[in-house]
Amino acid sequence: MDNKTRCSWVNLNEELYIKYHDEEWGVPKHKDQELFEMLVLESFQAGLSWITILKKRENFKKAFDYFDVLKVANYTEEKINILSSNKGIIRHKGKINATINNAKIFIKIQKEFGSFDKYIWGFTNNEVIKSEYKTESDLSKKISNDLKKRGMKFVGPTIIYSYLESIGIINNHEKNCFRLNL
């Protein structure tokens, strides 16, 4: 183990947590496929611990066609049944159906704005917000409300706040964390 100081929430006994914290969390993401992946994972995380999602992340990638939004948007009832019986993911039928629904809306947003990246980063004029240390904010409420108006599900302000952290729009690395100003 290295001597780096990390955010206090990082379980230093979980290599997945350390890797996620060190390499992904709070790092700005701009590829629509990555933005969709994190939206799906954050939605599935609702009510569960993030480590549960991290441990199942590879299974999610395979089950959801590596987060190819066009494929996910066209899932059939047969595919929903396959996902609902896949022990490698969270088998919550409401979240599975929401993911398919959200994929369709994600595509509509891409068409309207040119990319989902332009849409989501447009809320902050492409600026990273540093160190709020909250579970939701005016920004997450605004985005949540907009996504809900567009028809997305499982995108409440707390989920969206976590999403914004995961894609780097909000950088909540703690003051003593080595990642804060990287």
* Position 160, amino acid: I
Q: In angstroms, rounded to a whole number, what is the distance separating the alpha carbons of residues 127 and 94?
A: 33
Q: Is 119 a catalytic residue?
A: no
- List the catalytic residue out of 17, 25, 50, 119: 50
Which contacts qualify for 59-67: CB closer than 8 Å, 24 or more apart?
A: 59/86, 59/88, 59/89, 60/88, 60/89, 61/37, 62/88, 63/88, 63/89, 64/40, 64/99, 66/33, 67/33, 67/34, 67/36, 67/37, 67/40
Q: Is 77 a catalytic residue?
A: no
Residue 178, token pair as written in the block: 């080595």
Q: Is 20 a catalytic residue?
A: yes
Question: Are 56 and 37 in contact, with CB atoms under 8 Å apart?
Answer: no
- List the catalytic residue out of 17, 25, 37, 42: 42
- List the catalytic residue out of 20, 25, 75, 121: 20
Residue 138: CB atoms within 10 Å: 9
* DSSP-derived 3-state class of residue 30: coil
The residues carrying an active-site annotation are: 20, 42, 50
